[in-house]
Structure 1
Amino acid sequence: MEREGKTIAIGVIINPIAGLGGRVGLKGSDGPDVVEKALALGAQPEAAQRAANALAELEEIKESLIVHTYSGDMGEHLLTSMGFTVSLAGTPAAGRTTAQDTMEAAQKLRDAGVALILFAGGDGTARNICQAIGEDVPVIGIPAGVKIHSAVYATNARNAGLAVKEYLQGLEAEVALAEVMDIDEDMFRQGRLSARLYGYMKVPVSGSHMQHTKSSSVSEHDELMGVVGHVITKMEEKTRYIIGPGTTTRAITDELGLSGTLLGVDVVENSRLLAADVTENQLWELVKDPEVPVKIIVTIIGGQGNLFGRGNQQISPRILRRVGKKNIIVTATASKLNALYQAPLVVDTGDLALDKELSGYIEVVKGFAHTVIYPVTN
């Protein structure tokens, strides 16, 4: 690892607009028009807070670090506020940061000889950094975007920080190549998933801290119909059901004869579609009344086991607290659960206290009248 005197040089890149489209139902944040639309709908930047959660894990070693970053919201503001020693490698162009700013920052951090680059963003950010520096420098991603298919990301922000610390302390010094995946967001918003491999980057071999590449969502029809039948027979009248994205949950609305959205969040009451593809604010208006019974139906991301914080950010911390853990219905076919190889389910809402509350164990519907108790971790 490159050192400057007695310090270790690392790089930090924050994509300030990462994840803006999540809570307002835009399925991503790629493109200036989408960013402006997200902000107009009331979206709030979250990447800096996720980065702060990761960097907090480096508190005990920060005196031995010099952090190379870009000015402003791409790293400087957060790092200086947290007391890190900062070296500015450059400044983004005027206005909102762009993919070009991310790429140039990655190249300048590489050229500065950093031991590792920690970055906050989504699959688009990972793709930009991969295009800029390829396999030149090990990286660890802090999941802050809507789409997190790439295996260069930690399972959550805290684990990103832990992975960095272990790597710098030599506890996990080995690196391996990890896939950088991204999807066509325009097709995604039309309900069609088209993922593609864009390359590989080096990541520390860090056990449970790093996530796996998202697996195929193919499941056996009989398994799926069993899950659907169980959930529908248990649905109660005068109860509002928040139905998250995914092929498993879409099968529920299909069986009810409703035009649900594959990649958005819908609300169903009395077997009727109350609202489709809602934003977080729209969802809150539908469920904020404490007198109205509300439940959440979600499925897991195949191969990763994520419950909240990946593609369903519309189901925000305030909505999860309003509903409560006991009213969350988790669905997953046996095939999806088997693909986890006994790894726990993961919650990464961006609210560390809530993630802790949701951890422990939860019931998962895996077939008709067939449920299992499965561990959940933050």
Structure 2
Amino acid sequence: MHVGVVVNPIAGMGGRVGLKGTDGKVAEARARGAEPRAPDRARRALTRLAEIAPEATVSTVVEPMGERLVRESGFEPVRVVDPFDEAETDAETGSHPEQAGKRAEHAETSADHTRRAVRAFRDTDVDLVLFVGGDGTATDVAAALEGSEVPMLGVPAGVKVYSSVFAVSPEDAADVAATFSRTERREVMDIDEDAYREGEVHPELRGIAHVPVAEDLQSSKQTGSGTVESLAEGVAADIRDRDGDGVTYVLGPGSTVGAIKAELGFEPSPIGVDVWRDGEVIVRDASEAEILATLGEENVIVVSPIGGQGFVFGRGNPQLSPAVIRECDVTVVASRTKLDDVRALRVDTDDPDLDEALAGWVKVRVGTFETRMMKIV
């Protein structure tokens, strides 16, 4: 098995600092104190791959797009592509690790660099392109592979992750990469991040790609969630009953929790996190740091899983970080329609220990009083 590994080092940086994405916002994300998310996600996938498939052949890309992480995981790359040098990415020129573009280590990366790297993988007949990023990265990889049958598989590291070309977790990506025997054509989706920041979600089909067939792949996101009026009324009534008790409610993004916010009497941040305490909004569209600064002695996260995928944490709500989750009780809410579309709930918080602690059976509020048991796997 020959795997080409490419990492988008800035993927997901805008999430925890409240930017809903990183496209065109890298400088602002850094100014807000954002830390890279993708390298750790890549490290987890590569470490797992080295454990289960140490004999795999790996090609990768100069720093900061994968080389160091591949070597640290125990693989000696057979080829290190330098997309910052157009001539080097020509498969006819070949490459050697010792010539691997060290000048690029601190360079700013772009979509074009990703496409160049993937075309180099394609031209050297890799069996799989394993990429680390979000929907934008998936779009670039799919564009570079267009016209070929080389499959692609994503390690999810972006903020949105609407496409169905991603594994459920970094470790699952390694498992799929090491064991798949066939592929199928799947959708690559992305949205306009500027419109997304304004609360408008319009996923667009950006490509069709060959993807390994496996159970541990997520479905495309669904934007409809069914009727939630009675659910919103019931949850909002419970929250109002605690007004004056000093309970801090961290209200997640999405239309289901948005209906609860509207029932409480304020205009929701449709894709942001709002904080409520004692009858008023404390912070609108809060970042991770702002949420942590508002938490008190008793805190409750109210969150709804993503329709079609079942992710409670880790897709579209990175502001709800491990540090935030550990300080809160968690209330999961969803319409019956949404739950009918998922087999199980999932979490992907960037903290495997927390993911394990959250796993198990949970009560999901589905109506004014009704609940349904669902398992987080």
Q: Normalising by the residue count of structure 2, what TM-score does the alignment of the two structures yield? A: 0.91
Whole-angstrom CA distance in 2 between matches of 1:56 and 1:357: 22
Whole-angstrom CA distance in 1 between matches of 2:53 and 2:63: 20
Indicate conservation of the 8 Å contact 2:53/2:178, yes or no.
Answer: no
Identity %: 39
Indicate conservation of the 8 Å contact 1:24/1:41, yes or no.
Answer: yes
Instruction: Specify the alignment match of 1:83 in structure 2.
Output: 74
Cα shift readout 1:145-176 (whole Å, capped 9, x = no counterpart): 00101000011111111111112xxxxx1210
**Is structure 2 residue 181 aligned with structure 1 residue 177?**
no
Indicate conservation of the 8 Å contact 1:12/1:68, yes or no.
Answer: yes
Give the counterpart letter for 1:70 in structure 2. V
Instruction: Give the C-alpha shift of residue 60 in structure 1.
Output: 3.2
Instruction: Give the C-alpha shift of residue 267 in structure 1.
Output: 0.1
Whole-angstrom CA distance in 1 between matches of 2:325 and 2:29: 22
Match of 1:60 among 40, 43, 51: 51
Instruction: Specify the alignment match of 1:4 in structure 2.
Output: none
Indicate conservation of the 8 Å contact 1:244/1:265, yes or no.
Answer: yes
Instruction: Specify the alignment match of 1:13 in structure 2.
Output: 6
**Aligned ranges for residues 252-271 of structure 1 at < 5 Å?**
252-271=260-279
Select between 366-375 and 85-94 the one with higher mean Cα deviation: 85-94
Give the number of aligned pairs.
351
Indicate conservation of the 8 Å contact 2:151/2:183, yes or no.
Answer: yes
Instruction: Specify the alignment match of 1:96 in structure 2.
Output: 108
Instruction: Specify the alignment match of 1:105 in structure 2.
Output: 117
SS at match of 2:121: helix
Cα shift readout 1:265-310 (whole Å, capped 9, x = no counterpart): 11011221110001111111111x5xx2110000110000000011
Cα shift readout 1:21-51 (whole Å, capped 9, x = no counterpart): 00011011112xx000001101000111111
Q: Normalising by the residue count of structure 1, what TM-score does the alignment of the two structures yield? A: 0.90
**Is structure 2 residue 130 aligned with structure 1 residue 118?**
yes
**Is structure 2 residue 303 aligned with structure 1 residue 298?**
yes
Match of 2:317 among 291, 312, 319: 312
Instruction: Specify the alignment match of 1:163 in structure 2.
Output: 176
Whole-angstrom CA distance in 1 between matches of 2:171 and 2:54: 19
SS at match of 1:64: coil
**Is structure 2 residue 371 aligned with structure 1 residue 367?**
no
Q: Tell me the C-alpha RMSD between the 2 structures.
A: 1.2
Match of 1:22 among 5, 15, 23: 15
Instruction: Give the C-alpha shift of residue 61 in structure 1.
Output: 4.4
Whole-angstrom CA distance in 2 between matches of 1:26 and 1:104: 28
Structure 1: which 5+ residue stretches go unaligned?
1-7, 168-172
Whole-angstrom CA distance in 2 between matches of 1:249 and 1:63: 44
Indicate conservation of the 8 Å contact 2:156/2:166, yes or no.
Answer: yes
Whole-angstrom CA distance in 2 between matches of 1:198 and 1:178: 11
SS at match of 1:163: helix
Indicate conservation of the 8 Å contact 2:225/2:307, yes or no.
Answer: no
Instruction: Give the C-alpha shift of residue 328 in structure 1.
Output: 0.5
Whole-angstrom CA distance in 1 between matches of 2:229 and 2:13: 34
Match of 2:156 among 126, 143, 158: 143
Instruction: Give the C-alpha shift of residue 262 in structure 1.
Output: 0.2
Structure 2: which 5+ residue stretches go unaligned?
85-103
Instruction: Give the C-alpha shift of residue 370 in structure 1.
Output: 0.4
Whole-angstrom CA distance in 2 between matches of 1:80 and 1:156: 21
